[in-house]
Structures are given as C-alpha cells and as structure tokens.
C-alpha cells in the first residue's frame, strides 16, 4: 500500500505539501526560526524568498508522488494553521521507515509531536507493512527523546557523528525503534486516525 495522502487525527490533518502552502510555511518557519535553529540544519538564517520555498515544496511533492520520500505538514483541523512538519524517510533500509518532525514555536507543549509520531508509527506498521519504525534524536534534544520514550520506543544506542549540522562535526544520534510486534501494546494505540488515498478513498 502507498503512503496515505491525507491522515486525520483528533486534532490534526497530516498531508503532503502543495506549492500553494509556501506562504504559510515560510511564515511559520520564520516565526519559529530561533526555536528550530539548534536542531534543524535547514533552518534559514534570514527570511527566504517565497519563490525558493515554492520550489522546495514542488520538490517535496515530486518525491512524495514518486514514492521516494514522504514529507508532510501537520495542520489544524480546518487547515488554517501549520502546526508542525513531519515525514517518513527510507533511511534505515528495507522493512523500515524513519519518522522525522519539527513543531512550530506556538504549538510547543501541546502534544503535537507525540500525536504525529504515534499515528505515523501506526501507519508505517498497519498500512505500509513495515517491520520497524525509527526515530533519530540528538542527545541534547530532551523534548524529542521524551516523545520517543512516552510512545514506547526503545533506545537501541547512540551513534556518533551521524546527524548533519550546518557547520562543524556532525551531531551524535540517539536511535529509538519500535518493532511490529511491540505496536499492539504500545501507547501509540491510544491515538486514532483515518487515512485516505490520492483519490480521497478511505484506507483505514
């Protein structure tokens, strides 16, 4: 099965970006720049030209449609606010997907990252038939590490100099995983979702 084009939870709509989302993405990242800067090496040092953001979103959508890499936004239920960014990445090899995410500065502390990660972990295993779901987190990013622990992911180890940074050596990576057989008893199951395909057909 393909990655859903739309995932709805109690509070969120998770979907691939469209180039028309460029203004709200640019505004959200700019507002959150100081918050994102220590963790996201792609965070711009100054406001980006809107056309650059449009081109990036065209690339994201092309990768999504080609089933290469699935980068999405997490929106409020009416889709008027971009609360977070997330994605599923095939970095861990066959049978696995890695969840990545960031949260807008005005959405911190509301459980958005936990809800996204829980639902995407369920999608990976239940709909996409993956055997393992990964999270890679810098050791100093305690908020994200707490999300992984809260959802029942296992800290398998810390890999040295694995995560890219805009300058200097790469950062260490704490690798958290959730296996297929661990999902049914995990806290992820408390987060319900409905998933839809490219034509709007309900998948789950």
- Spell out the per-residue pLDDT of the chain, length 204, in tens: 899 999 999 999 999 999 999 999 999 999 999 999 998 988 998 999 999 999 999 999 999 999 999 999 999 999 999 999 999 999 999 999 999 999 999 999 999 999 999 999 999 999 999 999 999 999 999 999 999 999 999 999 999 999 998 889 999 999 999 999 999 999 999 999 999 999 999 999
Q: What is the model's pLDDT at position 1?
A: 83
Q: What is the model's pLDDT at position 163?
A: 94
Residues 6 or more apart from 180 whose CB is under 8 A from it?
Answer: 125, 130, 131, 132
Contact 195, 14 (CB under 8 A): no
Residues 6 or more apart from 119 whose CB is under 8 A from it?
Answer: 7, 9, 12, 14, 188, 191, 193
Q: What is the model's pLDDT at position 99?
A: 98
* DSSP conformation class of 202: B
What pTM does this model have?
Answer: 0.96
Closest CA to 164 of 40, 25, 1, 49: 40
């Amino acid at each position: 099965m393909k990655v859903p084009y739309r995932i709805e939870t109690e509070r969120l709509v998770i979907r691939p970006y469209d180039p028309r989302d460029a203004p709200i993405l640019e505004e959200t990242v700019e507002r959150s720049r100081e918050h994102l800067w220590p963790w996201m090496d792609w965070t711009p040092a100054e406001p980006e030209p809107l056309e650059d953001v449009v081109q990036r979103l065209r690339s994201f959508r092309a990768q999504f449609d080609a089933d290469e890499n699935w980068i999405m936004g997490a929106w409020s239920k009416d889709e008027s606010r971009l609360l977070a960014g997330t994605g599923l990445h095939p970095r861990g090899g066959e049978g696995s997907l890695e969840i990545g995410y960031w949260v807008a500065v005005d959405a911190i502390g509301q459980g958005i990252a936990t809800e996204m990660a829980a639902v995407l972990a369920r999608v990976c295993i239940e709909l996409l038939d993956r055997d393992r779901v990964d999270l890679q987190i810098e050791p100093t990013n305690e908020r994200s590490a707490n999300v992984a622990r809260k959802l029942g992911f296992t800290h398998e180890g810390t890999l040295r100099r694995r995560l890219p940074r805009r300058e200097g050596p790469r950062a260490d990576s704490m690798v958290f995983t959730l296996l297929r057989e661990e999902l049914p008893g995990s806290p992820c199951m408390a987060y319900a979702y409905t998933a839809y395909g490219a034509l709007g057909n309900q998948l789950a």
